[in-house]
Structure 1
Amino acid sequence: MIALALACLAPAVPAHAAQTVNLILNWTPAADHSPFYYARAQGWYEQAGIDLAIEVGKGSGVSSLKVGSGGAPFGIADLATMLVARGKGADTVALMSIYANTGQTFYWLKSSGINGPKDFAGRKIGNPPGDASRVMWPAFARAAGVAPEAVTFVNVGPTAKTAALKSHAVDIVSDFYNSHDVKLKEFGSDLGSLNWKDIGLNAYGNALIVNGAFLEKNQKLAGDFVNITQKAYAACVADFEPCLKALLDQVTGLDRQEQEQQWGRIKYLMADEFTTTKALGWIDAGRMQQDYELVQSYLGMEKPFAVESAFSTRLLDPSIRMDASKVPAPQH
């Protein structure tokens, strides 16, 4: 009886140790990644047998290739950039959209004489080599009526873009719309900007992607990962404070106010007619076809493929939807 009583008091031991699962981000951690840190802090991944390891990224091009080669099972990448990588043979599948609207934005100083894309010719654009906007630059250039070869790209790290613009080391930088407030604070009325959506290029932005072979072998784990991630994003939309705390507790060097401002704009990027009615993270087949055609038309597809093979919505939980009442109107 004593032995039985002691056995009952002993802590439960999981039948199987949690499986270490790597997620490579598109860039350095920020507000848009906070749901992953929040869910990890809450133990949600661990409860599903997932020991989540988060790796800092170096651009969507890099994360797409690493996931596509099997170097990491999951990643965050700009969807158009992922399509480019898949056209080169990367084994990648998108499981959930994070940015239903493109976050791609160019920034410049009006005092430099730039008023829009027509003034980009002969200028220097600062961004990292793996930046999605550099990969997709030919599409933007042709849509804006600029010769693709008319600009010079300068390697600038993701955290050095504002400083590079301020010092005039470059004339233009690319960045996500969610960092808009940081630049407004720095440059005020001298700031010029253009979101790619404003010239008709509204390709899907960041998405959760998975290695195709890993997905085939780990259906349940992938399903759990997607549903937990949906749940986390929904929780952060409902109340960002706990998510912000989790992010700041696990990532150093971030400014609280900047991350709060970013999240307000991220909620706008997350919402469209599908994420608010079908499921948070929904990827629409029609829009994916348009994105594929965009990549094919402007960049060419080295190895053409059926676009439906590049994404799946079957793991999404339709009961988890983007709360439209929490979406702020875009501000400039």
Structure 2
Amino acid sequence: MKRGVIAASFAVLLSATTAQAADEVEIDFVLNWIAGGDHAPYYYAKEQGWYEEAGIDLNIEQGKGSQMAVQRTGIGQTQLGLADLGTALIAKGKGADFVAVMNIYANSPYGMYWLKSSGIKDVKDFPGHSIGNPPSDAARAMWPALAKAVGIDPDSVKWVNVQPNAKLAGLKSGAFDVTSSFYNIHHIFQRELGDDMGFFAWKEYGINPYGNSIIVNGEFLKEHPEAVKNFVAVTQRAFKFCVESPEPCVDALVAANSGLQKDNELQNWALVVELLTDETSTTKGLGYFDEDRLKADYELTETYFELDQPFDIMDVVTNEYIDPSITVPTK
């Protein structure tokens, strides 16, 4: 009798598990770069089983630049991607099929670095010098906007192709004169360059578009809106948790990616918190897009780049999946 009850119970459990597996949606999520402190919340949520509980079988893929993340997501090679929004809007104007559903960097992360000993004092001295960047780097794509904003010819600099992790080494060795980097690794440049470090943030010159944002392939969004909603809900929850409790999040990141150092990634994450915090993210929802800023971002893109297919920015970005009750914690 007991065996019959146990067998029946096991059959029910197996049936439920099979049904859950059948309903699970597979999602390939490509990062903007190789994993670092700024990606800790995704790894923590995956380690804790939060995505799985939400019916998502998540595969996190290492990235090679925002342009590549947009390209892959825009053609459906990956379902979701993490990419600089300005870079994504340029790709949208060329036909990429995606919708942005959550912003991560409410403040632009772009910064330029050089050695003061090179004689460069500020951006006005960049003409005639070389800038080391990967071909798919977000800042490289947006460079014409900054150049025109400060009154220099975008073509007055020479671009040197370099691997993402070789920017600092190339700058120190003299392989090029200037490089760009996201603010979340500012501490590394400070440590390595010391008093010889030259730096400015793009937002100092009025270029402050939304940075890294989560984008979804358009067809996938139409077919799986519930999965996208669940992904955003889990990700909001994870980012809020990691702002409040960074150590377990960074531990999960380091455990999943060999070669990373906990102390370094904790510093990285602390800078990320600065980037994701603004008035909107602390009041209207973590990841919420402000409509006026979006329109300004579109105007920036339209002004400095040729859009083969002009579009309505509000058709490309949505706050539909943002839970306004989940905000960036303030201390």
TM range (shorter): over 0.9
Alignment equivalent of 2:280, drawn from 263, 274, 277: 274
Residue of structure 2 in register with 1:8 after alignment = 9
Q: Does 1:318 align with 2:288?
A: no
Residue of structure 2 in register with 1:184 after alignment = 190
Residue of structure 2 in register with 1:174 after alignment = 180
Amino acid at match of 1:68: G
How far residue 303 of structure 1 moved from its aligned partner, in angstroms, is: 0.8
Residue of structure 2 in register with 1:68 after alignment = 74
Residue of structure 2 in register with 1:290 after alignment = 296
Distance 1:255 1:183 in 2: 16
How far residue 319 of structure 1 moved from its aligned partner, in angstroms, is: 1.1
Alignment equivalent of 1:241, drawn from 242, 247, 272: 247
Residue of structure 1 in register with 2:156 after alignment = 150
Distance 2:230 2:10 in 1: 30
How far residue 112 of structure 1 moved from its aligned partner, in angstroms, is: 0.5
How far residue 16 of structure 1 moved from its aligned partner, in angstroms, is: 3.3
CA offsets 1:37-94 (integer angstroms, 9 cap, x no match): 0000000111112111011111111111111111111000000100000000001111
How far residue 19 of structure 1 moved from its aligned partner, in angstroms, is: 2.6
Q: Does 1:227 align with 2:233?
A: yes
Q: Does 1:32 align with 2:41?
A: no
Residue of structure 2 in register with 1:330 after alignment = none
Distance 1:95 1:254 in 2: 29
> Does the 8 A contact of 2:25 with 2:227 survive in 1?
no
> Does the 8 A contact of 2:90 with 2:307 survive in 1?
yes
Identity %: 46
> Does the 8 A contact of 2:33 with 2:62 survive in 1?
yes
Normalized per residue, which structure has more helix? 2
How far residue 14 of structure 1 moved from its aligned partner, in angstroms, is: 4.1
How far residue 20 of structure 1 moved from its aligned partner, in angstroms, is: 2.0
Distance 2:99 2:46 in 1: 23
Q: Does 1:251 align with 2:257?
A: yes
Distance 1:129 1:316 in 2: 33
> Does the 8 A contact of 2:41 with 2:239 survive in 1?
yes
> Does the 8 A contact of 2:285 with 2:325 survive in 1?
yes
CA offsets 1:149-184 (integer angstroms, 9 cap, x no match): 000111111111110011010101111011000011
Distance 1:205 1:59 in 2: 13
Amino acid at match of 2:89: L
Distance 2:180 2:263 in 1: 22
How far residue 144 of structure 1 moved from its aligned partner, in angstroms, is: 1.5
Distance 2:218 2:280 in 1: 24
Written as runs of structure 1 = structure 2, the 5 A alignment for 1:37-116 is 37-116=43-122
Residue of structure 2 in register with 1:329 after alignment = none
Structure 2: which 5+ residue stretches go unaligned? none
Distance 2:63 2:149 in 1: 28
Distance 1:70 1:25 in 2: 15
Distance 1:211 1:5 in 2: 45
Residue of structure 1 in register with 2:138 after alignment = 132
How far residue 324 of structure 1 moved from its aligned partner, in angstroms, is: 2.3
Distance 1:38 1:161 in 2: 28
> Does the 8 A contact of 2:294 with 2:313 survive in 1?
yes
Q: Does 1:208 align with 2:208?
A: no
CA RMSD of aligned residues (A): 1.1
How far residue 212 of structure 1 moved from its aligned partner, in angstroms, is: 1.1
Distance 1:303 1:181 in 2: 40
Distance 2:250 2:18 in 1: 30
Structure 1: which 5+ residue stretches go unaligned? 326-332
What SS is found at the alignment partner of 1:75?
A: strand
Amino acid at match of 1:94: A
What SS is found at the alignment partner of 2:179?
A: strand
Distance 2:119 2:113 in 1: 13
Q: 1:267 to 1:297 in 2, by over 3 A?
A: same
Amino acid at match of 1:24: V
